[in-house]
Structure 1
Amino acid sequence: MELMGRSGKNKRPALPDGPLKTLNDALRDLHLKAGQPSLAEMARAIAGGPSRSSLHDALTSSNLPKRDTIDALVGVLVPRVRGLDADEAFDRFNQLWLAAALAVDAPSSDGDHPREDQSGGREGESARRSHVELTPLPEVQALATHLSSAIHQLELTAAEFARRVKLSPTVVTGYLSGERIPPQGFTDVVLSSVTEVEGESAAARLRPELDRLRIEAIRARYASEDIGRMRARLEQADSDTRQELEIVIKILEGSPESWPDRVVAVLDLQRFSALTDREQQIWREALYEAVRQTLAQANIDPGQAMLKDRGDGLVILFGPSVPANDLVTYWLSHFWFGLSAVNANLARPVLVRMALMQGAAGTDSHGGYGPAVVQAHRLIESRDLRDLLRQRHGELAVAIPDDLYQLIGQASPYSAAQARLYAKVDLQLKDGSTTAWVRAFEPLGPRS
């Protein structure tokens, strides 16, 4: 089989019989059955993952590929092969890679001196690299241990948890063994499951420790990474991968321990793409007017509310000194009143979805970053929140986590009554589900 690339045909590597040759043969056979997609095509399909050169080397080099590269190739090739089960394929290549890695890491029969291979490299160096990959970093292992413990408390095995959250067992096992660092979405899914079984208080106690351990794991794993190359990957990454990469870059560049807790509000204009250009302009102006007026009415200093445009909405990064209970009670009520007042003069009322989240978040000239920002964006994209706004014929739909919801009932008798208008639901997200409190705010008066 020949693999086509820009430079021409790339020949099969000359490998002696053994686990590494078996792995390479299986990988190239899978590529053939998938229709032999080009390197460029595969690289686009896994944007944000291994580079094109890494994919090329995995198929043509006599050295052991990285585990993540194998997973990426299997992930992009398996869907192209009719009747091939993804979980079985991942499990098979997992075993093939481990066998090859252990064989490469084993001492040679010639003693301790590394031998030259046909590509000019040294087997001893390749062995040392595979040994590093097989032994998780202590920081990554600490995160994996805490995640495993949380799932164990749910009385679930890794395979049972994978089925519960609809993820590949191989992927979940990789997270829980310390082989790879899970994305923010996976830790959120774990916390959501803890909430369902043990309650919100248990999840609230666990979240800060998981956030801290994940930050430490990322700093240890990417300590020697070229940040410039990571920034270049941002341009080709999908939205979820881009958010994850941005967090990694900020952690490497800054001091995440100093990120303060703050409230992040993400506002999205529903059905924005269906509007005419003029209607989109009117809606955007109306949204900004409602936000600025109500911040002033709630006595929130403009310097303590950073507004960042997102095209079909905006992000508000409140200063750490702005009390969260004031935001989910006074300001949220003011915004509802202000939005209704603006809509009273519009032929087509502005429809807004809002997600609020409190947690660690940093800011720079481009906006905000950190777990609270990512989680707020995940909430706002929930299909359930979109459906709530449409079905209730409201003007505003809001989703908040349990810690912010508890603040509403504590503020005043009026706020306690408002809290009873929220419903606790499981919001379906792109990578799982999470528990949140939601409410649809209806128009306050007749429109012109």
Structure 2
Amino acid sequence: MSLNTEQLFDRQLVTQLSQSQNEPTWVLENRLQALEAASQLPLPKLEKTRIDNWNFTDIHPVNTETAVASTDQLPEGIRQFVSSDEETNLLVQKNSSSVYTRLSESLANQGVIFTDLVTALIQHPELVQSHFMTDGIRPDEHKLAALHAALWSGGAFLYIPKNVEVETPFQVLFWVEGENIGTFPHLLVVADSHSKAHVIANFVSDDETKAVVNGMVEVFAGDGSNLTLASLHTHGKGTTDVAYRRTVVGKDAQLEWIVGDLNQGRTVSDNTTHMKGSGGNAQIKSITVGAHEERANITSTVRHWGTHTESDITARGVMKDKAQTILNGITKIEKGARKANGVQAEKVLMLNREARGDANPILLIEENDVQAGHAASVGRIDPIQMFYLMSRGLSKREAERLIIFGFVGPVLDTIPFASLKERISSVIERKLD
């Protein structure tokens, strides 16, 4: 489907957006180039999912909001996603605007930068410019990437200096609310060599919101760094969520990605990790639960470039009602990535006859001296298991619940953040009800 984005989002709108944020000249130039490219590039081609009839552009792309002085001023339904602890580092964005930021003084004194992306562009231009939409995701990948590059707003930037280790998680909340809203949040994380950090990003909207969220996350894990990142998406049924995540992993770096795609509307989720340095290790864990008539295409990709790199993709999907999900796992070992080891396992459990799930494991090997393996399964609840549990006095719903949580347990049980684990469990409970 060809969309004339030049008519939907013109140069004047993009220029006004850039100038209103006092952005450097190079940012505006990049925005305008991306806008032009968006009118020519095709939509991304997704495995077994057609998105050419999805709405990505009939929206209001700039929706500014007023800042708040404390988290107490946030609505009660939103406060559950953030911590009120003054020691917690937190950034909240509503629609197009960052409305609240908190960074502990001790971390600021160590050189940690945690602020909205616009402020980072002005105060730390070289650091941002060298990473923003370069080795992660590029504006010329496809139409959705180009639209994001032209219209991104707000966003968050985190920089962890060399040898700095932070145990308290950084929390980012991207909150959408309103009618025909378009948001383009961008999270950029740069971890310098031998640093350590934990990042939790929540993407939220309610069922009354009608929106398109075209979001990007770029992560750069420097040599010897240790990063744990969690991305939880709980948008309402009126929201179309596009989430592209790109990570570049350096030498001997340790990366753990936890992705919860628990939306109630339409979802495009793409998580790609580039193992650039030798000796790097990446653990990718994904959970999705679909209900009603939800549609989702979820892809986890690891590309091995460096030698002696290791990766493990574990994905679990549960489908009920008429929900449909395509679960893709791709491990690619490039030529020259000797001694690489990539494994993956995707499993889908369907609770109803009309539910649909598809698990697609893909191995692409261009080097001989490597190890690789995959596993995939799609099926329904074993009636023998149900009979056994119900014969022990459990109701059908209780038995079904036990089987489902046992099924997602290999991912859920490894989540290192207790609050996030509880939140994902509660969302799964609500969707199953």
Shorter-chain TM-score range? under 0.3
More strand by share: 2
Higher relative contact order, structure no. (Cα contacts within 8 Å, ≥ 6 residues apart): 1
TM-score if structure 2 supplies the norm length?
Answer: 0.26
